[in-house]
Chains A and B, each alone.
Chain A
């Protein structure tokens, strides 16, 4: 179920979007079978990083290896699933029609549609049109599609944004269930109190990884009692001098954040 090679391995990644250099030599390894929370303020590069992992982002340099293959290769299209920030479903179709269409694209039996719809708790809304759903139900429809088949890596861009706490807790319950089956998850969020629900944390700021740590180590490192404060503290340190932000040891699988000026590859 698990193996020691990283689920995602990124080396020297350089991405430019428009005139903005989003990444300039980013390196990262993600441990399989864990929920990695991708945290950071809006515009820090979370979505771009996610798009690179899924293989839909044009990159200027570096390598992105996912489950041992270059990101975006056809063989990964069944093994990696993705749900973008906007719930990418057909709003003029029902929940069932949306999920069934994608089930057929993956060549899966129709029972698979029933399974994922039940898994996200939308069995009662199955025949409801997507544009009649609440925001949370819409997100869950999009999530259901990302659960189709047996993905090994599920990549979710801000799946809980704008949802109420009860619903967020439910979704995190689903994510935890997936991780318990050995699935690797990357979940981005800018709500820091969700950090505690992750196994690993990637804190990003301005296209760099400020820390790659665990929720527990984050608090120890920063000397703060809640993740919000801890994140702000790490960002303050990062602004003061990037090199000091990760000097404290921790037991988490850590890939040292590197910066453009240090990375001369």
Chain B
């Protein structure tokens, strides 16, 4: 009840902010379209699936880190923690709300990539779409956590390039991880986006079973860990 009330409240806040909703829903789709346009078809066939997973992650990361930072700085978080609301209900309330938006986002981006941009996906479109949702949920969880380390919204947006660009470079977008120098490939094993890319690539070429489930489980694990750490950044008593 309190969980759903919180998810509903976050969704109402989003509804009041059409520009952000438009960004969440349309931006991944438009960026995929842009890549399809600039790239030769063969190259887009390689990169396209990764973009389907990465853009929802990035968009959710930014939106959540700012939304929860606002909650921290406006005094509403402090107030929530004086009510019967549990921290898990707050965190999962955010996850549910943004998860619903992510489903919409995934439907749009997969449909657009396949039917408008002509992206050839051998695997199930539903599984590829599910990867986009899992990545969006991970972006939400990490954004929640990141907001604890920012004092202002200005600082919060800075996390995106710091956090995302190195992971994109190391995660296999530009070069397969197996062809990287050993040091970089070892580092990439510890970066969540490496598994985002691995999972969506495999799903798109119809890999199933453990080879798909392993990166997927890692993503779910990172999400839960980020939420757990996030709840530790919400102490009821502050100095």
Contacts and interface: CB of A to CB of B under 8 A. Distances in A.
Interface of A: 16-18, 54-59, 72, 74, 77-78, 80-93, 97, 101-102, 104-107, 129, 145
B237 A74 contact: no
Nearest to B71: A90
A41 B38 CA distance: 64
B201 to A, nearest CB: 38
Interface in B63-79: 74-76, 78-79
Nearest to B82: A82
Interface stretch (B11-19, B94-102, B157-165, B185-193): B11-19
Interface residues of B, number: 25
B209 interface: no
B75 A101 contact: no
Given A93-B13, A93-B16, A88 B84 contact: no
A86 B6 CA distance: 21
28 contacts: A54-B82, A55-B82, A55-B237, A56-B78, A56-B82, A56-B238, A57-B237, A57-B238, A72-B236, A77-B82, A77-B84, A78-B84, A80-B82, A82-B79, A85-B75, A88-B74, A92-B17, A93-B13, A97-B12, A101-B6, A105-B2, A105-B5, A105-B80, A105-B83, A105-B84, A105-B85, A106-B84, A107-B2
B236 A86 contact: no
Contacts of A91: 74
Given A93-B12, A106-B84, A56 B76 contact: no
B214 interface: no
A90 B9 contact: yes
B236 A107 contact: no
B81 interface: yes
A63 B76 CA distance: 26
Nearest to B90: A105
Given A82-B79, A106-B83, A56 B236 contact: yes
Nearest to A102: B83
Contact of A88 (B5, B13, B78): B78
A93 B81 CA distance: 19
Contacts of A78: 84
A16 B76 CA distance: 23
Interface in B1-57: 1-2, 5-6, 8-9, 12-13, 16-17
Contact of A92 (B6, B16, B85): B16
Given A56-B82, A87-B75, 8 more contacts: A56-B81, A77-B84, A84-B78, A86-B74, A88-B78, A93-B12, A105-B84, A107-B1
A107 B12 contact: no
Tell me whether chain A's interface is mostly helix, strand or loop, or mixed: loop
Contacts of B181: none
Interface string B225-236: 000000000001
A81 B8 CA distance: 23
A66 to B, nearest CB: 12
B5 A101 contact: yes
A9 B31 CA distance: 60
B84 A74 contact: yes
Contacts of B84: 74, 77-78, 105-107
A95 B5 CA distance: 16
The 9 A-B pairs at the shortest CB distance, nearest first, are namely A88-B75, A104-B5, A88-B79, A101-B9, A58-B237, A58-B239, A105-B83, A92-B16, A86-B75
A89 B9 CA distance: 12
Nearest to B5: A104
Contacts of B83: 77, 102, 105-106
Contacts of A92: 13, 16-17
B13 A90 contact: yes
A16 B6 CA distance: 33
Contacts of A129: 16
Nearest to B2: A105
A93 B9 contact: yes
A54 B236 CA distance: 10
